[in-house]
Amino acid sequence: MTHDSPPRAWVDVDLAAIRRNLETACRALPGTQMMPVVKAGAYGHGLEAVARALDMEGVTFFGVANTGEARRLSRAGVRTRPFILGPAFPEEREEIVLNGWCATISTMEEAQHYQSLAAMYGKTLPIHLCIDTGMGRAGFLPDEWAGLGDALEAMPNLLIDGVVSHFPSADEDPVFTEVQIREYADAVSLLGNRFRFRFCHISSSAGLLAYKVPGANLARPGLMLYGVSPVASPWSDALLPTLKLFSRVTLVRTLPAGHGVAYGRTFITDRPTKVATIGIGYADGWPRHLSNRGARVWIHGCSCPMLGRVTMDQIIADVTNVPFLVPGDEVELIGSHIPVTEVAERAGTIPWEILTSLGPRLPRVYHGA
Ligand SMILES: *Cc1c(COP(=O)(O)O)cnc(C)c1O
């Protein structure tokens, strides 16, 4: 890897840990096939590297967000078929049909378009029926389910071989989730009278860790592969951390008492304060919402409070307790001392957003390939 300047911040990725977390997903739901979700650059870890690391692990699909990600997988030589999790635009569908990527349908308009493209190219397109059991984002609604058999019978180039749904609150509402599971299972058996489904799936990480879904034979873990458990489960402790975020000190100075720190001077020193300027900012995905929220960084074994606002490329930390600090020294922002869940909580968001915000300016360094 070449860079214009020495990296001021980087992401360290443990591919072996991601493989171990996939094994844990398999052990949590024995006999269930897996669709590792690698959308959004594999949650900040790097799309191609993660997909290559899992490609030979016996997985059924890779979950991606769009055709651009699917194309990147095939260009990287990945053999596992991409599954496009969300609806595709009309202009994406030809490429889906030509490559035999797996897509979902939520409307008859999509079904008809895929049918005519597949017929034009003389192909049979495997496709999954998306059913809305409560997420409200995509899928046929319950009053449409009974009519799907007749409506899709007239589309011979579509092979309806899966039925997909999604949990909106598997990590926070067990009562609703149990009702939803019954509705999904009923839908699978109703639709199973007309379609021969090879893949029935509804669970992402939280569903996989906390529920058994009758009739489901495929699961779509994302966050848990990256070492974070969205729910308390007996398997949570088995998940290994997969990502560390590091930066480096660029300056060490001592500010006098009464001196402001960063934009808006939202922090004023109340004593002479040794401060480090650190080469990471919100342009790298270190959230500006961490400003003045009690966030910290880890330097030479010491927990150091962040002072003032996060700026675009730099932050400032109180390093009064760190002896012998010089420019170039390493700073941990996410890692064994600072979990991503803590960063998310302080920033008022969720770990998914912290991970997927880690920007392209951060080089990814891989271990355990
Ligand atoms: C992103 C996504 C997942 C993965 O969710 P996690 O909570 O990260 O496990 C699974 N299914 C669908 C449809 C998704 O959009």
Give the pLDDT confidence score for residue 5 in this predicted structure: 81
96 plus 160 within the same structural domain: yes
Task: Look at residues 198, 227, 256 and tell me which one is the last residue of a structural domain.
Answer: 227
Q: Is 274 among the residues known to form the active site?
A: no
112 plus 144 within the same structural domain: yes
Site to probe by mutation for ligand 1, drawn from 35, 220, 224, 353 as the one with most ligand atoms within 8 Å of Cβ, is 220
Catalytic residue among 39, 43, 114, 282: 39
270 plus 315 within the same structural domain: yes
**Dihedral angle sign, alpha carbons of residues 207, 212, 214, 217:** positive
Give the CATH number for residue 252: 2.40.37.10
Task: Look at residues 176, 199, 227 and tell me which one is the last residue of a structural domain.
Answer: 227
Q: What b/e sequence results for 75-111 when a residue is b if at least 16 CB atoms lie within 10 Å of its CB, and e otherwise? A: eeebebbbbbbebbeeebbeebbeeebbbbbbebebb
203 plus 103 within the same structural domain: yes
Residue 201 belongs to what domain range? Answer: 15-227
Give the pLDDT confidence score for residue 3 in this predicted structure: 56
Under-70 pLDDT residues of the chain: 1-3
Site to probe by mutation for ligand 1, drawn from 21, 85, 171, 218 as the one with most ligand atoms within 8 Å of Cβ, is 85
- What spacing in Å lies between the alpha carbon of 219 and ligand 1's midpoint? 10
Catalytic residue among 114, 244, 263, 274: 263
Instruction: Kindly state whether residue 5 falls inside one of the protein's structural domains.
Output: no
204 plus 285 within the same structural domain: no
Instruction: Kindly state whether residue 191 falls inside one of the protein's structural domains.
Output: yes
Instruction: Kindly state whether residue 100 falls inside one of the protein's structural domains.
Output: yes
Task: Look at residues 196, 227, 258 and tell me which one is the last residue of a structural domain.
Answer: 227
189 plus 271 within the same structural domain: no
Instruction: Kindly state whether residue 236 falls inside one of the protein's structural domains.
Output: no
- What spacing in Å lies between the alpha carbon of 151 and ligand 1's midpoint? 29
Give the pLDDT confidence score for residue 6 in this predicted structure: 82
CA distances (Å), 204 to each of 122, 242, 274, in order? Answer: 34, 18, 45
Instruction: Kindly state whether residue 234 falls inside one of the protein's structural domains.
Output: no
96 plus 191 within the same structural domain: yes
Instruction: Kindly state whether residue 9 falls inside one of the protein's structural domains.
Output: no
212 plus 115 within the same structural domain: yes
63 plus 172 within the same structural domain: yes
Could you list the residues known to form a binding site, using ranges: 137, 312
40 plus 180 within the same structural domain: yes
Q: What is the mean pLDDT of the chain?
A: 97
Q: What b/e sequence results for 150-189 when a residue is b if at least 16 CB atoms lie within 10 Å of its CB, and e otherwise? A: eebeebebbbbbbbbbbbeebbeeeeebeebbeebbebbe
Give the pLDDT confidence score for residue 175 in this predicted structure: 98
Give the CATH number for residue 200: 3.20.20.10
Instruction: Kindly state whether residue 233 falls inside one of the protein's structural domains.
Output: no
| Best CA proximity match to 353, nearest among 285, 282, 294 | 285
- What spacing in Å lies between the alpha carbon of 120 and ligand 1's midpoint? 33
316 plus 213 within the same structural domain: no
Instruction: Kindly state whether residue 8 falls inside one of the protein's structural domains.
Output: no
201 plus 259 within the same structural domain: no
Q: What's the number of domains the chain is made of?
A: 2
Q: Is 39 among the residues known to form the active site?
A: yes
